[in-house]
Structure 1
Amino acid sequence: MKFSRRRIEEPEINLIPFIDVLLVVLIFLMLSTTYSRFTELQINLPAADAEKLRDRPSEVIVAVAGDGRYSINRKAVDGRSVEALTAELSAAAGGRPETVVIISADALAAHQAVINVLDAARRAGLSRLTFAAQGGNGR
């Protein structure tokens, strides 16, 4: 009796079709990718120049007390409503939309009191706003 042994071929992975598919996927990704540039923050920093100090636009200083009372240019505002603030801001600005509104709020003032000042400035047509802050060392 003669037993014949067949030689078992080991399976082999053919890498050529795999490489072809990867190259096609790579080309597709390269062609379909959109490259976007991240937007940068554009800010204009103020400069301390004595000559430009004379050309500064008018300012309206709005103080917000810790208990929610308002004063505009050191004059107390009657009432705490947005409508009263709007009327006082319009009168203090004198119809000049380039007027800068400086909000000086107490550290204990409610956020809503400051939001009311922002809303009143928007209603009065004053879009240039800034906040006053005390320096880090108490000065």
Structure 2
Amino acid sequence: MRIDLGEDEQPEIGLIALIDCIFFLLMFFMVATSFKQQAGEKPQKELPVTLPAAQMSLDRVGAGAPPLTIGVDKQGKLYVDGSKVSVQGLHDRLKQEAASNPGRPIRIDGDEMARYQSIVHVLDLCQFEGFTKISMHTRQ
């Protein structure tokens, strides 16, 4: 038995709701595929940079204190003005220099086979003590 409820109206599809759903799905798939990595490819965390070698160095004849020379050999051992020191000894010497002469320039002589992390550690110690005139010694 059929019940007659009055006029027969055609059902309407809510077009605005449908458009909203389509845009939501589109945005979801765009975001989901932007994070996908290629299979077998490692994520690149740094720029592929080859550091240049120094072709020329400038010798500054400056008035003022001579630079404090910190050496780093290929095993990562540290030297201050030619004498071997430990990391704590270097830290103490830098603290002493910062107290007596905070504007003294620092020169880092790193072996070409020294680990980059060893050089960065020395730079961190120098910056921690407040030295701003830090240079790297290179060969021509």
TM-score by length of 1: 0.52
Deviation beyond 4 Å, 4+ runs, structure 1: 46-49
How has the CA–CA distance of structure 1 residues 72 and 48 changed in structure 2, closer, same or farther, with 3 Å as cutoff? closer
Aligned: 1:75 with 2:83: yes
1:90: how far off?
2.5
Q: Provide the aligned C-alpha RMSD in A.
A: 2.2
Aligned partner of 1:64 in structure 2 is 72
8 A contact 2:69–2:106 mirrored in 1:
yes
TM-score by length of 2: 0.52
1:17-62: per-residue Cα shift (whole Å, max 9, x none)?
Answer: xxxxxxxxxxxxxxxxxxxxxxxxxxxxx7856xxx4x22331000
How has the CA–CA distance of structure 1 residues 106 and 48 changed in structure 2, closer, same or farther, with 3 Å as cutoff? closer
Partners of 2:132 and 2:84 lie apart in 1 by 22
Matches within 5 A, 1:1-139: 53=62, 55-78=63-86, 80=87, 83-92=88-97, 95-135=100-140
Aligned residues: 83
Unaligned segments of structure 2, at least 5 residues: 1-57
Greater C-alpha Rg: 1
| Percent identity of paired positions between Structure 1 and Structure 2 | 18
Partners of 1:93 and 1:58 lie apart in 2 by 14
Instruction: Give 2:95's aligned amino acid.
Output: S
